[in-house]
Amino acid sequence: MLESLDADLILDAVASVLLVIGGLMSLAAGVGLVRLPDLHSRMHAATKPQVLGLLALLLAAAISWRSWEWVAIVLLAWGLQLLTAPVSAHVVGRSGYRTKHMRRDLLTHDELASAVERISRDIPPSRG
């Protein structure tokens, strides 16, 4: 009796911590979306609740339900999110670079610019 009560307490504590972590990720995304100056830096903030925040919240839900079946469904949902979030981030970032939705003066180093310049100068790449 006492041991089960302790297990309940521990599981509730873990679920509570995970819930708050998920909420903090979403808070970080909101603050980052408001404060950051650039499309790509805003994308950096926006991916926080998509992967880690969703994982924390889903694990908290699965722990609070106390069932292994829902853990499988929860991990399925998180795995699908993990598959599709990079796709949208890649497409949005590429489109943002091509259409110049970025602050070039805030960059310290633009690795893609040298590649683009090399191709547009029609110098064959040295390697490969």
Partner 1 sequence: MLDIAVHITQVLLAIGAIGSVYRIYKGPSVLDRVISLDVMLIIVASMMIVDMVVNDHQDFIMFVVITAVIGFLGAVAIARYVVVRSPEEVASESSEQDPYPAPPLAPAIPGAAAESEPEAPHDPVSTPRMPGIEVEEGEDESTSWFSALTRSGFTPRRHDDAPADDDASADAEEAPSADTAARPPAQKPSKQEDRDA
Answer for the pair 36, 42: CB distance below 8 angstroms, yes or no. yes
Q: How far is the CB of 125 from partner 1 (least distance, A)?
A: 8
Dihedral angle of Cα 15, 17, 23, 26, to the nearest 10 degrees: -110
Closest residue by Cα to residue 51 from 28, 22, 30:
22
Q: How far is CA 32 from CA 66, 101, 123, in A?
A: 34, 17, 40
Q: How far is the CB of 68 from partner 1 (least distance, A)?
A: 13
- What the block records as the tokens of 25 is 């990720």
Q: Which of 1, 6, 7, 33 binds partner 1 (CB under 8 A)?
A: 33
| Contacts (CB under 8 A) with partner 1, residues 65-94 | 65, 70, 73-74, 76-78, 80-81, 84-85, 87-88, 91-92, 94
Q: How far is the CB of 3 from partner 1 (least distance, A)?
A: 18
Answer for the pair 41, 104: CB distance below 8 angstroms, yes or no. no
Q: How far is the CB of 55 from partner 1 (least distance, A)?
A: 11
| Contacts (CB under 8 A) with partner 1, residues 95-124 | 95-101, 103-106, 108, 110, 113-114, 116-117, 119-122, 124
52 binds partner 1 (CB under 8 A): no
Smaller CB distance to partner 1: residue 7 or 33?
33
* Centroid of chain to Cα 102: 20
